[in-house]
Structure 1
Amino acid sequence: MAVPELAPRRTLGGLIAVWALAAVIAIVIGIFSTPDWRAAWLGVGLGGCLIAAFAVQLWSGRASGFTERVAASVLGAALVMGVISLGFGLAALVPG
């Protein structure tokens, strides 16, 4: 017998938290890594976002839609990191 959820936790907060973490990781990598190693470190950072997405979604305690929420978290994190790394790449083209 299934027990209905009385007050389900919101899932959008978990998605936004992972996306914000991805933005912070991408900015830190863009500032502190050399351009040669930036892509490799962004891959490591995206792996950390994947682990964070699993942790956040497991913490929410909702089984329905788990894989969709994790996929949305990781896809959003990849997009956020891609846009930020694009900005760092374009900034590297500017002579200075």
Structure 2
Amino acid sequence: MSDNGRMADPVLAPRSPFVGLVVTWAAAAVVAILIGIFAPAALMMTWYAIGFGLCVLLSFTVQLSRGETRGFILRVSAGSLGALLVMGIVSAGFGIAALFGA
């Protein structure tokens, strides 16, 4: 018998990569809203940095549990960047609300 090259297992039912991204982005929105409501003004940016760090870890965990190596770094970075943008938009909303005394 001859060697026909390496054979890879086919992906039978690939999961959508967007589910992990949406989970990370939704968690970032919830964390940012909770920080905006409950954190004292003097420590708000510290809590946003901690919340973003947790979102990066969540993105890594969600994509790692997916079990697919192809595109792993791209998915983790997209989840982290999206979480940063979501948290930035929410915190900007709280900042604008604080300017107008709401």
Please give the TM-score of this superposition, normalised by the length of structure 2. 0.90
Q: In structure 1, the residue corresponding to 2:34 is in which secondary structure?
A: helix
How many residues were matched structurally? 96
Based on CA coordinates, which of the two structures has the bigger radius of gyration?
Answer: 2
Unaligned segments of structure 1, at least 5 residues: none
Q: Deviations over 1:12-66 (max 9, x none)?
A: 0110000000000000000000122111100000000011001100111110000
The aligned residue for residue 62 of structure 2 is 56
Report the AA paired with residue 68 of structure 1. L
Q: In structure 1, the residue corresponding to 2:41 is in which secondary structure?
A: coil
Which residue, 80, 93, 96 being the options, matches 2:99? 93
Q: Runs of 4+ in structure 1 displaced over 6 angstroms?
A: none
1:2-41 correspondence to structure 2 within 5 Å? 2-41=8-47
How far, CA to CA, are the matches of 1:95 and 1:15 in structure 2? Answer: 34
Identity, in percent, stands at: 50
